[in-house]
């Protein structure tokens, strides 16, 4: 029957061991502090060296046109109705307005001073170095590619001279003089920079310049239907921001005025064409009337005819006014609107009245009709002419005094303090991000960790844990720094700990192991103890050698045999010769008595591995091994065998058939429970029953302190005076 029992451990899926989690964070505090400090440092450097971004603000007022009160109230009640300022905002952000600004300020020319990469610009700002100023009024660079932005380098010689490098060609230029040569058209108006300062000048397309301006330009409505628009522009140069934003405001105001005056200009143009025609028609009508009166010897109208004439002229004037009114209303309302319908009804009424008056005229004598008709043409023509003349004067006044419905309330002003970067926020973000990433790394390490962390994990598999040996105090720091590194066997312990520091915690734990072994070996078939492991570097040699020394200190006769004929290194640990070892005994070259050496410092006998044989497994299967173990078991109180790992070679399984007690070494956080379980089954397949396991190299952790169980038997001696 297998000694390893598969036990089903029921755990709640939702259970979170907060204590263990807190302990893991405490254990990895150095990692958390280091990562957090690194991110904080990066955030601090970024906050110090990042280019400050300023913001310029301006305020505009757009006066809303007076419309129908009922319609305005209805639009406010509709949830999806568009704000009245939305068209103005779209107009401000249009390519028409921004393109005019790009042309006015020559924003297609991008001028940047050259600094040392990454940190140069920030360092120059921190030391108070004044930024160079280069004013370019004209720039054109030819380019063979449509995608590549042409660039040139300008190096300042002095305040009036400079050197230009373009397409591997150098040109000298002067301030105020146009440089036009080899695809370059450049005019520099002024230079305010130290000699030797370099600038990189690039020429982007107009569309790209407009797009770049749209990205940093924003318009916001200060409130629903208030007509107040807030304009803002962000960038590294506060003076350029003010100039650019003022230019946008002025261009928007100019187009608004032009838009308002355009309608008056069109109407005025029409009136200027119609007035001469109306005046000519009026002169013709007056000539006809005068000529008719001369022919008829100054025939006058009767009182009735005069009354009818006044009424007809009055009706005609009203109809003409309705015509002007209709032209204005048709721009605001549809024909179904009540105002438009009322106008049409009034027109119909006047036309009906005019028809009745015409019937009265038809009943008059022929002479009176003619005089009446000619007089009506003159009076109506005069009235129309006066109306058009008045309208012309009104449009002239409106055109000359057009101010639009836009008013600049606040001119552009740059804020004295930069809006970006927010240094405090960036540092806090760095701290939080560093903490989150470090904690994430810790959680990831916990998730990926598969090694044995507590004796409970072995006992859940039915494996007895005879001892939990903490990491040696002497080599604790070295072990913690190299938990992930695989070192050569024996490099971990270069000295014999039981002799050098007998009060070490690891030695105290091995003393406890000696007591447990006393009872474990009482029912064994012989006094031979074999110590093996699942993998190299588990601490088999450390535990077995120090155990031999501790048992020998009790006065018992102990023999320690290094059975690892492949990589055994105990002769180096004891500073003894490797000659006449186990391999020589098993091959029959020497007697057992010649192979036994004395470790005087520890007080026990020792058989080294000897020279490395070509066939270690065949030597172990020879009958001489059984004879050797039988012989030494009779001569010594206890025989301890240090064997190779079972998962690496089968040597331990062969040796296990001759020994009475077998123990496995499991390394803390290095060996997995699966490895130990497989090792137990390997021994069982060979007929070897493993008594239990020793957990070696236990590190005292806060996660173990806050969890349940052994706490790894952590104690120490202290001297108190």
Confidence grade of residue 604 (pLDDT, cut at 50, 70, 90): very high
Report whether 535 contacts 648 (CB < 8 A). yes
pLDDT attached to residue 38: 94
User: Alpha-carbon distance 640 to 561, whole Å?
Assistant: 6
Poorest-confidence range of 101-110, 145-154, 246-255? 145-154
Q: Would the pLDDT of 75 be above 50?
A: no
Q: What would the CATH number be for the domain defined by 455-481+493-703?
A: 3.40.50.300
Report whether 52 contacts 236 (CB < 8 A). yes
Two tokens at 34? 């280091």
Q: Would the pLDDT of 700 be above 80?
A: no
Pair type for strands 406-414 and 54-62? antiparallel
Confidence grade of residue 482 (pLDDT, cut at 50, 70, 90): low
Q: Would the pLDDT of 716 be above 60?
A: no
Average pLDDT, the chain: 79
Query: In the predicted model, what is the mean pLDDT of residues 668-681?
Result: 88
Pair type for strands 133-141 and 184-192? antiparallel
3-state secondary structure of 379: helix
In sequence order, the 6+-apart residues with CB closer than 8 A to the CB of 87 are none
Confidence grade of residue 300 (pLDDT, cut at 50, 70, 90): low
Phi-psi region of 106 (alpha: psi -120 to 50; beta: other; left: phi over 0): left
Classify residue 579 by its DSSP letter. S
Pair type for strands 558-562 and 638-642? parallel
Q: What pTM value is reported for the model?
A: 0.60
Report whether 462 contacts 3 (CB < 8 A). yes
Report whether 340 contacts 333 (CB < 8 A). yes
User: Alpha-carbon distance 107 to 103, whole Å?
Assistant: 7
User: Alpha-carbon distance 349 to 14, whole Å?
Assistant: 88
DSSP states of 145-210 as a string? -SSSPPEEEEEE-SSSEEEEEETTEEEEEETTS-EEETTEEEEEEEEES-TT-EEEEEE--HHHHH
Burial 76-103 (b: 16+ CB within 10 A, else e): eeeeeeeebbeebbebbbeeebbbbbbe
Q: Would the pLDDT of 641 be above 90?
A: yes
pLDDT attached to residue 659: 92
Q: Would the pLDDT of 421 be above 80?
A: yes
Poorest-confidence range of 58-62, 101-105, 441-445, 498-502? 498-502
Q: Kindly state the helix (H) or strand (E) to which residue 489 belongs, with its residue range.
A: none
Two tokens at 146? 């449509």
Report whether 261 contacts 395 (CB < 8 A). no
Dmax (CA) for the chain in angstroms is 175
Query: In the predicted model, what is the mean pLDDT of residues 254-279?
Result: 74
**Rg over CA atoms, the chain:** 53
pLDDT attached to residue 41: 93
Confidence grade of residue 42 (pLDDT, cut at 50, 70, 90): very high
Query: In the predicted model, what is the mean pLDDT of residues 79-107?
Result: 79
Q: Kindly state the helix (H) or strand (E) to which residue 60 belongs, with its residue range.
A: strand 54-62
pLDDT attached to residue 398: 63
- Alpha carbons within 13 angstroms on the beta-carbon side of residue 340 total 13
Q: Would the pLDDT of 239 be above 80?
A: yes
Poorest-confidence range of 221-230, 476-485, 616-625? 476-485
Poorest-confidence range of 121-125, 315-319, 674-678, 711-715? 711-715
pLDDT attached to residue 365: 61
Q: Would the pLDDT of 706 be above 60?
A: no
CATH 3.40.50.300 region(s) of the chain? 455-481+493-703
Beta bridge partners of 693: 465, 664
Classify residue 232 by its DSSP letter. E
Q: Would the pLDDT of 81 be above 70?
A: no
């Amino acid at each position: 029957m297998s000694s390893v029992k598969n036990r089903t451990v029921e755990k709640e899926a939702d259970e979170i061991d907060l204590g263990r989690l807190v302990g893991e964070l405490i254990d990895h505090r150095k990692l958390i502090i280091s990562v957090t400090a690194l991110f904080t440092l990066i955030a601090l450097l970024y906050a110090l060296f990042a280019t400050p971004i300023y913001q310029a603000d301006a305020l505009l007022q757009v006066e809303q046109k007076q419309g129908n009160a009922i319609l305005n109230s209805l639009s406010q009640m509709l949830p999806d109705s568009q704000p009245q300022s939305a068209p103005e905002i779209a107009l401000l952000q249009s390519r028409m307005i921004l393109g005019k600004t790009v042309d006015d300020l020559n924003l297609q020319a991008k001028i940047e001073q050259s600094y040392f990469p990454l940190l140069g610009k920030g360092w120059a700002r921190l030391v108070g170095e004044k930024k160079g100023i280069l004013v370019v009024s004209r720039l054109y660079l030819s380019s063979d590619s449509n995608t590549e932005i042409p660039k040139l380098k300008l190096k300042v010689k002095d305040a009036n001279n400079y050197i230009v490098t373009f397409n591997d060609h150098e040109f000298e230029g002067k301030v105020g003089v146009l440089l036009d040569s080899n695809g370059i058209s450049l005019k520099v108006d002024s230079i305010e920079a130290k000699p030797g300062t370099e600038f990189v000048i690039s020429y982007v397309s107009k569309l790209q310049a407009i797009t770049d301006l749209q990205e940093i330009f924003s318009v916001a409505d200060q409130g629903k239907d208030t007509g107040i628009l807030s304009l803002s522009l962000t960038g590294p140069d506060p003076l350029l921001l003010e100039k650019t934003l003022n230019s946008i405001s002025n261009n928007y105001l100019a187009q608004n005025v032009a838009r308002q005056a355009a309608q008056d200009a069109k109407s005025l143009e029409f009136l200027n064409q119609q007035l001469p025609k109306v005046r000519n028609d009026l002169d013709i009508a007056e000539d006809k009337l005068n000529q008719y009166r001369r022919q008829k010897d100054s025939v006058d109208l009767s009182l009735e005819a005069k009354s009818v004439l006044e009424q007809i002229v009055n009706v005609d004037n009203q109809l003409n006014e309705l015509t002007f009114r209709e032209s204005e209303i048709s721009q605001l309302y549809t024909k179904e609107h009540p105002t438009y319908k009322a106008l049409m009804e009034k027109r119909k009424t006047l036309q009906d009245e005019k028809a009745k008056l015409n019937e009265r005229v038809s009943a008059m004598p022929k002479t009176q009709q003619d005089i009446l008709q000619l007089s009506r043409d003159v009076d109506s023509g005069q009235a129309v002419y006066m109306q058009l003349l008045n309208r012309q004067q009104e449009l002239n006044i409106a055109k000359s005094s057009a101010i639009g419905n836009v008013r600049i309330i606040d001119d552009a002003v740059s804020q004295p303090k930069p809006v970006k970067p927010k240094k405090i926020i960036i540092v806090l973000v760095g701290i939080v991000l560093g903490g989150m990433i470090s904690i994430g790394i810790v959680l990831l390490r916990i998730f990926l960790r598969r090694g044995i962390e507590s004796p409970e994990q072995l006992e859940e598999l039915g494996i007895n844990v005879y001892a939990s040996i903490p990491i040696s105090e002497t080599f604790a720091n070295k072990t913690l720094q190299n938990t992930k590194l695989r070192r050569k066997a024996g490099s971990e312990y270069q000295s014999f700990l039981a002799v050098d520091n007998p009060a070490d915690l690891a030695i105290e734990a091995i003393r406890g192991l000696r007591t447990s072994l006393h009872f474990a070996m009482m029912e064994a078939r012989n006094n031979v103890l074999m110590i093996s492991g699942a993998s190299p570097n588990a601490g088999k040699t450390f535990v077995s050698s120090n155990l031999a020394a501790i048992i020998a200190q009790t006065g018992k006769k102990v023999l320690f045999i290094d059975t690892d004929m492949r990589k055994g290194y105990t002769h180096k640990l004891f500073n003894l010769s490797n000659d006449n070892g186990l391999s020589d005994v098993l091959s029959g070259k020497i007697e057992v008595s010649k192979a036994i050496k004395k470790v005087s410092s520890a007080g026990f006998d020792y058989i080294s591995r000897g020279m490395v044989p070509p066939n270690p497994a065949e030597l172990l299967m020879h009958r001489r091994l059984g004879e050797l173990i039988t012989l030494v078991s009779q001569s010594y109180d206890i025989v301890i065998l240090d064997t190779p790992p079972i998962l690496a070679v089968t040597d331990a399984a062969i040796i296990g058939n001759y020994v009475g007690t077998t123990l496995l070494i499991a390394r803390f956080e290095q060996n997995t429970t699966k490895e130990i379980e497989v090792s137990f089954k390997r021994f069982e397949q060979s007929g070897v029953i493993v008594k239990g396991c020793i957990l070696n190299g236990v590190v005292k952790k806060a996660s173990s302190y806050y969890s349940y169980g052994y706490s790894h038997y952590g104690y120490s001696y202290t001297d108190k005076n």
